[in-house]
Amino acid sequence: MARLVMKFGGSSVADIDRIQNVARHVKREVDAGHEVAVVVSAMAGATNQLVKFCRDIAVLHDQAEYDAVVASGEQVTSGLLAIALQTLGIPARSWQGWQIPLETSDQHGSARITAIDGAPLIAGFAAGQVAVIAGFQGIHRETGRITTLGRGGSDTSAVALAAAVHADRCDIYTDVDGVYTTDPRVVPKARRLDRIAFEEMLEMASLGAKVMQVRSIELGMTHNVRIFVRSSFDKPEDIDPHRPPPGTLICDESEIMEHEVVTGIAFSRDEAQISVRSVEDKPGVAAAIFGPLSDANINVDMIVQNVSADGKTTDLTFTVTAADFERAKDTIEKARAAIGFARLDTATDVSKISVIGIGMRSHAGVAASAFRALADRGVNIRAITTSEIKFSLLIDSAFTELAVRTLHTLYGLDKA
């Protein structure tokens, strides 16, 4: 017997048929003898409709009221799934964030979880009851107001609840059947990973493998919650209870027996590059550049600064999303006097390729082999950054697929 948290997103509960399918998934686990808490999102489309209502009244609206409005979507799904479970003979009840309570900060619209009382849910398990929890929402203790965790917050709810009830596993049911070595649409030979370490998944998630919110993986890592990513579209009836289901376990690296050197390759196309040329090589220059960007709420991704050749000036390159490019360029140009640079070189059609793997910590030359393989294919590398478990390359977008496939094969990730 295990204690499980099962999380289903909006597309998995989009209509009554799918909610009933979810109920059968839950029944399958209950029949196997497990204690189960389910975390649900709003029905697909419901949240967008509610957000639109708020915006139609006022583009800038009170975030506390926005939270009261949009949290209603998860409230509906939690009640409906509880009813669907009861019709299958499973004792179940819905829990709103304020009922548990799942306490958060008062940053309405993007609140952070501060405390969860797992006791009422655990008491429910003891009574044989499945808890159906409205994801995405909580309560701020002092004001007593409803809060929400921001888009994708149901993943975060699920992992945090799994930590609070000491669950053996948090199963994320989603529209893909696991985490792949890279995007299978680009590399048909991509294969599903059986396991991936939290740190690796963090890099994969933040680099565009949109399986889970980065925040929920951080939370899983902090509290060591084993997260299993699997498909919600499998028919519950077709699942063999005696075989491990298809999916990917995101876990502590100690649970992974032998690490591959490289676990996966992530990439993002919508990047833009800004190179600030001939800035004075002195303390405070980086702050002069990135302070104004931060003030403008522009998220900077790669930052590359090489050691100055002449000890006087240096070049500094960074990337932003294509959507932020014009604003970023304007921001830097406006700060020209404070920064003091010769010129800006920019490029918009660039992609970032990241090679990720805990194994590379103990293997020299992993990056070097990539540079060689890409050079053989005529792919020019514009910039390089590295960290302990990954390195990233900035290249012209036109070469994205070629580069990803080349590296995928190079590191032995192609499926047999």
Instruction: Using CB under 8 A, list all residues that contact a second copy.
Output: 16, 19-20, 50, 53-54, 56-58, 61-62, 64-69, 71-73, 75-76, 78-80, 82-84, 86-87, 93-94, 96, 98-99, 144-146
Neighbours of 407 (CB within 10 A): 24
Q: How far is the CB of 12 from a second copy (least distance, A)?
A: 15
Residue closer to a second copy (CB basis): 80 or 404: 80
Sheet with strand 227-231: strands edge to edge: 92-95, 130-134, 35-40, 3-8, 169-174, 227-231, 248-251, 195-197
Residue closer to a second copy (CB basis): 96 or 213: 96
Q: How far is the CB of 48 from a second copy (least distance, A)?
A: 14
Distance CA 378, CA 122 (A): 59
Q: How far is the CB of 150 from a second copy (least distance, A)?
A: 17
Are the C-beta atoms of residues 113 and 164 closer than 8 Å to each other? no
Q: How far is the CB of 54 from a second copy (least distance, A)?
A: 6
Residue closer to a second copy (CB basis): 58 or 309: 58
Are the C-beta atoms of residues 348 and 322 closer than 8 Å to each other? yes
Residue closer to a second copy (CB basis): 151 or 282: 151
Q: How far is the CB of 335 from a second copy (least distance, A)?
A: 35
Residue closer to a second copy (CB basis): 148 or 268: 148
* Spatial CB neighbours of 203, under 8 Å, sequence gap ≥ 6: 266, 354, 356, 389, 390
Q: Which long-range contacts (CB under 8 A, 24 or more apart) does 251-254 make?
A: 251/195, 251/196, 251/197, 251/198, 251/226, 251/227, 252/197, 252/198, 252/221, 252/224, 252/226, 253/197, 253/198, 253/199, 253/358
Q: Three-state DSSP class for 266?
A: strand
Angle, nearest 10°, between helix axes 214-223 and 198-206?
170
Residue closer to a second copy (CB basis): 144 or 283: 144
* Spatial CB neighbours of 30, under 8 Å, sequence gap ≥ 6: 36, 90, 130
CA neighbor of 47 nearest in space, from 74, 22, 68: 74
Q: How far is the CB of 317 from a second copy (least distance, A)?
A: 43
Burial of 412 (0-12, 13-18, 19+ CB in 10 A): exposed
Distance CA 353, CA 391 (A): 8
11: alpha, beta or left? (left if phi > 0; alpha if psi -120 to 50): alpha
Residue closer to a second copy (CB basis): 127 or 257: 127
End-to-end CA distance of the chain: 35
Q: How far is the CB of 92 from a second copy (least distance, A)?
A: 8
Q: How far is the CB of 99 from a second copy (least distance, A)?
A: 6
Distance CA 47, CA 70 (A): 6
Residue closer to a second copy (CB basis): 57 or 119: 57
Residue closer to a second copy (CB basis): 56 or 388: 56
9: alpha, beta or left? (left if phi > 0; alpha if psi -120 to 50): beta
Q: How far is the CB of 116 from a second copy (least distance, A)?
A: 16
Q: How far is the CB of 71 from a second copy (least distance, A)?
A: 8
Structure tokens at 260: 């591959």
Residue closer to a second copy (CB basis): 79 or 245: 79
Distance CA 118, CA 162 (A): 9
Q: How far is the CB of 123 from a second copy (least distance, A)?
A: 13
Residue closer to a second copy (CB basis): 49 or 224: 49
